[in-house]
Amino acid sequence: MHLVEEQSRIDNKVTRLIELGFPELEQVYDDPTCQSALAVLRLAPTARAVARKQVATLAAANRAPGHRAVGTAKAARIQALAKDTIAPPELAPQIGFEMELLIAQHDLLEQQIVQAEARVAGLLDGELARRLQTIPGVGPAICATLIAEIGDILRFSDFDQLVAYAGVHPAEQSSGQKGANPETSWHMAKTGNAYVRAALYRMSVVGLQHNPTIKAHYARKRAQGKSKMNALGHCMKKSLAIVWASGAVITTSRRSRLSLDNGLWD
């Protein structure tokens, strides 16, 4: 999970560079650091570089066993946005240089995460570990972190206690006008277990591509006017709800009945 946290920091830096060098890319990708978007940036790290590429070249990006290529339609849209970018051209050389370094760091960390997960996978056993890994977006490292840090999930009397433990509940940021502007007056508390939050972040980011429940929840929050990071925070709580349900199913034999909050999936 230390590797995951470090990769998250690198991805945040990549996102900031995209906002400078090719801000329009976020019109195509909700997560501009997803596998497909990074494949495009490896070929052309700035809008000016993308504009010079052939559509066919961009369309073939990310083509590999188990990966879906960008495709002609999306590639054409990306190139059109690049040609009409608002990015300042004088920054392109420096942004391109930094982008290449950051993506190389991302790729190295991804390789190390795969190696670490392979090792952790050999240490995992039991019905709970197997069940958690059936959730799209949960690999061995995330699974091991959740089991190690949460422990017996039924030590939390309800879902809200688990949310507070993970620190993915909202905390008021402004004073005097509670909820006046949800985008600025509230933010994630981040007062709980940092390892669980890192696992939920990774689970949510991967879930945007591979978990229909997380993807739909993200789209719903964006449609409500939430920012991308705000919507992702909601997805982290949703991911925890899925973990809660999975863990509770395994351990219900300890109790005659488990009552779940009706608002769990809101």
The CA distance from 34 to 19, in Å, is: 15
By the 8 A CB rule, do 117 and 139 touch? yes
247 lies in some domain: yes
Mean pLDDT by 10 residues, the chain (266 residues): 88 94 93 91 95 94 81 94 95 96 96 90 84 89 89 87 88 52 56 88 89 93 88 92 77 43 40
Domain count for the chain: 2
The CA distance from 233 to 197, in Å, is: 10
176 lies in some domain: yes
Instruction: Quote the pLDDT of residue 187.
Output: 66
The domain in which residue 214 lies consists of 126-254
pTM: 0.67
3-state secondary structure of 187: strand
Asked whether residue 102 falls in the same domain as residue 131, the answer is no
Asked whether residue 156 falls in the same domain as residue 250, the answer is yes
Asked whether residue 93 falls in the same domain as residue 154, the answer is no
Q: Which tokens hold the place of 127?
A: 């019905």
Asked whether residue 65 falls in the same domain as residue 172, the answer is no
Q: Which of 152, 91, 157, 162 is nearest to 126 (CA)?
A: 152
120 lies in some domain: no
Instruction: Quote the pLDDT of residue 262.
Output: 38
Asked whether residue 95 falls in the same domain as residue 45, the answer is yes
3-state secondary structure of 67: strand
Asked whether residue 100 falls in the same domain as residue 14, the answer is yes
